[in-house]
């Protein structure tokens, strides 16, 4: 079940943080097919944006318990996701512009 589904369905959801350094093997990215990963990213993000666009305003305020934050809602979760994506875009641009 996705975190969004958990937060929409459960009366008192608890979110488990994802930390690649703790959750994935150190060399896990070496076996990723980049073309497939980018294709999946585009389709999954498009589906997510579509789903978020269908949510009622009250659903955005649904909250969950998160061990790293005092307050955590669907709005906060997806704001963090958007900022995280933008951070990666910034880093890519930064690398492309290096001398």
In a domain, 24, yes or no: no
The pLDDT score that the predictor gives to residue 47 is: 96
Low-confidence residues of the chain, pLDDT below 70?
Answer: none
In a domain, 61, yes or no: yes
The pLDDT score that the predictor gives to residue 74 is: 98
E-strand stretches of the chain: none
CATH of the domain at 46: 1.20.120.450
Helices (H), 1-99: 3-9, 20-23, 34-53, 57-60, 74-97
Contact 82, 69 (CB under 8 A): no
This prediction's pTM:
0.86
The separation between the first and the last C-alpha atoms of the chain, rounded to the nearest angstrom, is 44
In a domain, 21, yes or no: no
What is the domain extent for residue 74? 3-12+32-97
In a domain, 91, yes or no: yes
In a domain, 65, yes or no: yes
């Amino acid at each position: 079940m996705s975190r969004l589904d958990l937060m929409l369905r459960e009366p008192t959801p608890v979110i488990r943080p994802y930390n690649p350094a703790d959750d994935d093997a150190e060399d896990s990215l070496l076996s990723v097919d980049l073309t497939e990963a980018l294709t999946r990213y585009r389709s999954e993000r498009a589906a997510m944006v579509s789903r978020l666009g269908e949510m009622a305003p009250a659903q955005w305020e649904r909250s969950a318990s998160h061990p790293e934050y005092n307050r955590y809602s669907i709005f906060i979760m997806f704001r963090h996701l958007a900022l995280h994506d933008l951070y990666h875009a910034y880093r890519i641009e930064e690398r492309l512009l290096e001398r």
